[in-house]
Structure 1
């Protein structure tokens, strides 16, 4: 895919500093009015649109995380192509006349897979997690060597937009390793970062003490009671500007729950209270975007809760970039404290409504039997391997072994969902969120288990854990009580960065019985945003023109997937569905607007 060249930022040297009472831009007091916009959750051809709309709401700054694991799928790689072109994103921010805050982590949370930490990092069991450990810091140094030149070149003193860089992320909620924080400061300085450094923590005494250093500027994260919470921040930071660097104006969703929303008037009143104190702010989020592919994270505080594909976040700009109620309410509040442009964004027309039959299908078993190299290659193991052990860090894998009798099949743990088949017939499902680890296998035969990594934990002590089936795998005889450990396994890591090539042999009309791929072709006159309804579908992923839009699941809350217009082309477009359960009515229906699900009653 070809992207237009970015405009080059101005080259006039400027300055940004932290003063006794204010942020100082070229020596003059400056209040940061920022919004979070994650370039990696938005199609790159839509970056300029979202940045411009931020300006129209009255913001002067854009903030973004940097997802280490997305840039570095494998150690030694650093991908900046397409939607990972941070340089282009920052240049577009500058071209709009806005400033930028960069949060490179290495941990970002963000409801993002593994909190942004690469899964390959933890294949070494001795490596540290968010602490002063040599192997962990060595990997961060490699990451920063690739990343920081992009940021340093675009600092304000070099004529670019970057005014602040954050060290780590809400570290006080995790640990208090001051040597680790100092090592990150040193690595950033060695990488050419000269702008001021900040930290962010929830405004509690413990978190603010543990999560920062005396030489770093503290900021807070909260969504209400601004006066009270800024007073706590001030008690820990007697001088310098106050800032809520994550003003929580919405929330994320997880599968099986309701769609989280907050009232626009209520959120605007909280923002008004914050700005009335004179503090700076970063809205989290201005525009959430989408967890495309397998990039969503998860939480696990006793119950595993993977985040959904839509990261709409009930933000001022919706998942598809439309100005929502909070956009207008926040704009009115900001206008009380700063100039707001006369120009206003225009809402888009409803998306085209049409449907097309899923008229080609092939079972996963048939696709595997065809030997399609695009799916991956089998490996043979004398033990039960995790997916991390075999270097497969996202998505699906197929485990296979033979059993010589019926019995109770059990595992140490399932991460995160396992569909069990015996000689091709479904036996049952083991689901992490239900704490399932065992089921009955009805007889001898070939056992196949389709395992799905539903998203790595992005917050707390379970960051960095491995995925797949965790041993021991034991078959217990129901009649005799004999227990046998299953140690001979074949594993196929299924590559679904794109749908498998050449597996659709013939047209097929009728229900889709998963696991299976189903395909369709549709035509449009011109590329525009679409909303694909997944109502009536089971569970799986959708690809449009080879791009993985993300996961769907009938448990909701949402029942649509956002299709960014730039993914489409005039004329013929290809749709592929990987359905793991079943679709009774094999139709792909495109609807006028998103359905993000029911809200809390």
Structure 2
């Protein structure tokens, strides 16, 4: 079997120098029907390795569960990498950042008060060990010394930007080794002295993450990694977007020149991202550095392959740079034809407030429960008021968006980004209903693991409100609403709409959302993700494997107001302006 090890200054494959030319491709952000296509396009660009994170919270939505079906079939993904004649790097975290909800850490981890976050705390470590044993059971037989593609496994992720608990990192190494992982281990940190020291371990290869000033940053890495190969584990070739911000792009020429500088130094590289894909469902994360900013659904990242897997000018530029240092296949990757364009009327609107019982399960609570306690991403809360005159409704903190109704009529919205905490009700009596939405958990920094919902007391004037009923809105069941209820007419959301469309053969589609408000969309029960009129993203990507020859169903859950009940499919993506 092949042997892979860390040499004095280079990686060694069967004793010979080997440069890793890798690209980040997250299996959980790409439909499985497209995995082989994306892997082959990586090979044609000149890459020899595919890197992926592993999202703990996606595999384990509940403790004791570890799902591997569909988009979570890591074993199948790694075997496809091997079938393409490529190698693999696996980065299981447990924390991955990745602009992914909660940085990959399951929300259930933090139900117990005082549980550790990325530190050597017994309850946190016990859960991590359960998780790593599950994921590494998949990776173990796919290591290179057993005939598989896996060359490297990463320990944690940019830990030096968060903490300096060496006991925690050492415990992770011990768990990984005890799980049968024999390939070399690595850490990754931003190339500053403080982060490389705090996030690294002696005996584990340090790597760095950066997208510019390669010579300087490799020099810093070498100061803290005196021997062994130099590697940029995340060569940032683009960036991600937030709702309400611009669409980020980077210069093709400048990024290609930086890659050339990096490869000319002899370093190995992992291009982050080679193909970003999509935050399908409700998987996108958020940042909060004093102001909460949720990440959009697209993870296009301005990468060499765009969100739909088509080569961009950056792909061709990178391929040319790589050809100066390694053989590049003569075949070239091709782009798909423009997507079909047509319109589909939406009808049969079903309003949540008209019949909440058909949307989920009710429970009663003396005090306002968090979304975490309910296991919800979207919920309706209800209580009855009995006060005189107009009244001020206040909340300790909104995480992340609350739409307030009184006797079924909309009053307004409390939004976390605006740091809203109060709204005036026209009267102090009647039925108060609040729809609360989790817009994505913070994936970087000190707010990882925080609870969601209406935090702190909910008050009417100086009185704390009690006797709440809560309805968890089961988003998986929204496409099946019409079997349990009847259409009730439009209004302020949440309102579910549906339409149908026919195709001769399955192909990628782009659903234009610019005429809608804020919500979530599904095609044939597959959740495409969130949309929001504030942009920058104005289309949702519909993977071809989701579409069926013949009849297809589109379902839209509008949380605000859908002024134009028409769905329009367009020829290509619209990710918004690069400047605002």
1:399 matched residue in structure 2: 381
Contact map agreement 2:438 2:453 (CA 8 A) in 1? yes
Q: Distance in 2 between matches of 1:429 and 1:123?
A: 27
2:114 matched residue in structure 1: 126
Q: CA deviation at 1:346?
A: 1.4
Classify the secondary structure of the residue corresponding to 2:328: coil
1:440 matched residue in structure 2: 424
CA deviations on 1:111-152 (whole Å, 9 max, x unpaired) are 000000000000001210000000000001111121111001
The answer for unaligned runs of 5 or more in structure 1 is 1-12, 477-482
Matched, 1:521 2:505: no
Q: Distance in 1 between matches of 2:486 and 2:113?
A: 47
2:360 matched residue in structure 1: 376
Matched, 1:578 2:560: no
1:155 matched residue in structure 2: 143
Classify the secondary structure of the residue corresponding to 2:424: strand
Pick one of 32, 43, 49 that aligns with 1:44: 32
CA deviations on 1:241-297 (whole Å, 9 max, x unpaired) are 000000000000000000000111111011011111000000000000000111000
1:7 matched residue in structure 2: none
Q: Distance in 1 between matches of 2:318 and 2:490?
A: 47
Q: Distance in 2 between matches of 1:157 and 1:274?
A: 29
Pick one of 296, 318, 335 that aligns with 1:330: 318
The normalised TM-score by structure 2 is 0.98
Matches within 5 A, 1:304-453: 304-368=292-356, 371-372=357-358, 375-392=359-376, 395-405=377-387, 406-443=390-427, 444-453=429-438
Classify the secondary structure of the residue corresponding to 2:480: coil
1:8 matched residue in structure 2: none
Contact map agreement 2:479 2:525 (CA 8 A) in 1? no
Classify the secondary structure of the residue corresponding to 1:412: strand
2:441 matched residue in structure 1: 456
Q: Distance in 1 between matches of 2:487 and 2:424?
A: 36
Q: CA deviation at 1:581?
A: 1.2
Contact map agreement 2:49 2:89 (CA 8 A) in 1? yes
The normalised TM-score by structure 1 is 0.94
2:516 matched residue in structure 1: 537
Q: CA deviation at 1:513?
A: 4.1
1:471 matched residue in structure 2: 456
Give the 3 Å change call, closer, same or farther, for CA 208–417 of structure 1 in structure 2. Answer: same
Q: CA deviation at 1:366?
A: 2.6
- Deviant stretches of 4+, over 6 Å: none
Q: CA deviation at 1:512?
A: 6.0
Q: Distance in 2 between matches of 1:391 and 1:532?
A: 29
1:4 matched residue in structure 2: none
Q: CA deviation at 1:497?
A: 2.5
1:237 matched residue in structure 2: 225
Pick one of 35, 46, 67 that aligns with 2:23: 35
Classify the secondary structure of the residue corresponding to 1:195: coil
Classify the secondary structure of the residue corresponding to 1:299: strand
Q: Distance in 2 between matches of 1:102 and 1:78?
A: 17
2:536 matched residue in structure 1: 557
Q: CA deviation at 1:185?
A: 0.2
Q: Distance in 1 between matches of 2:151 and 2:186?
A: 11
Matched, 1:493 2:472: yes
Q: Distance in 1 between matches of 2:193 and 2:148?
A: 36
Q: CA deviation at 1:501?
A: 2.0
Give the 3 Å change call, closer, same or farther, for CA 113–277 of structure 1 in structure 2. Answer: same
Superposition RMSD on alpha carbons, in Å?
Answer: 1.2
Q: CA deviation at 1:404?
A: 1.1
Q: Distance in 2 between matches of 1:597 and 1:456?
A: 23
Q: Distance in 2 between matches of 1:488 and 1:281?
A: 57
The answer for unaligned runs of 5 or more in structure 2 is none
Classify the secondary structure of the residue corresponding to 1:532: strand
Classify the secondary structure of the residue corresponding to 2:374: coil
Give the 3 Å change call, closer, same or farther, for CA 573–244 of structure 1 in structure 2. Answer: same
Range with greater deviation from structure 2 (46-55 or 395-404): 395-404
Q: CA deviation at 1:519?
A: 0.5
Matched, 1:98 2:86: yes
1:6 matched residue in structure 2: none
